[in-house]
Amino acid sequence: MRLIERCRIIDFKSYGDDRGKLVVIEGGQSIPFDIKRVFYMYGADASSVRGKHANKDSDFVLINVAGNSKIKVTDGNEELVVNLDKPMQGIYIPKMVWKEMFDFSKNSVLLVLASTHYNDAEYIYDFFEYQKMMKQKDK
């Protein structure tokens, strides 16, 4: 399966009227996993690069709830860059996909929903090690 199919864009339902908007995200329904962890990034700027890792066990959905940022994902073969600039749109990133978040607008708030609780042992921070693991997986 191609990277663009694995790391798909998710459009969430947005409800609203003249009082404002509301976006509903439900684990196991609007996203393909039950949510175990939620965190967000703010205060980053256009020169900041976050992420720079892959996860062995965790799936993620990233949503820029304010401002915008870019997300680069790769599986070692293909690369995809997505501009997140709508609070009702996110990107699903399955386990074992390398991710980097960058080019944050001044007011950016990047919300991250994760399928697992935090476990530092599942993080792969060395891109060359990641590439090696992916090549072994393909054999």
Contact call for residues 56 and 122 (beta carbons, < 8 A): yes
Amino acid code (one letter) for 17: D
Q: Active site residue: 53, 72, 86, 95, which one?
A: 53
- Show Cβ contacts of residue 127 under 8 Å, excluding neighbours closer than 6 positions: 52, 98
- C-alpha to C-alpha distance for 59 and 61, rounded to whole angstroms: 7
Q: What is the DSSP string of 91-133?
A: EEE-TT-EEEEE---TT-EEEEEESS---GGGEE--HHHHHHH
Q: Compute the C-alpha angle 54/60/64, nearest 5°.
A: 110
Is 53 a catalytic site residue? yes
Question: Could you give the residue numbers annotated as active site?
Answer: 53
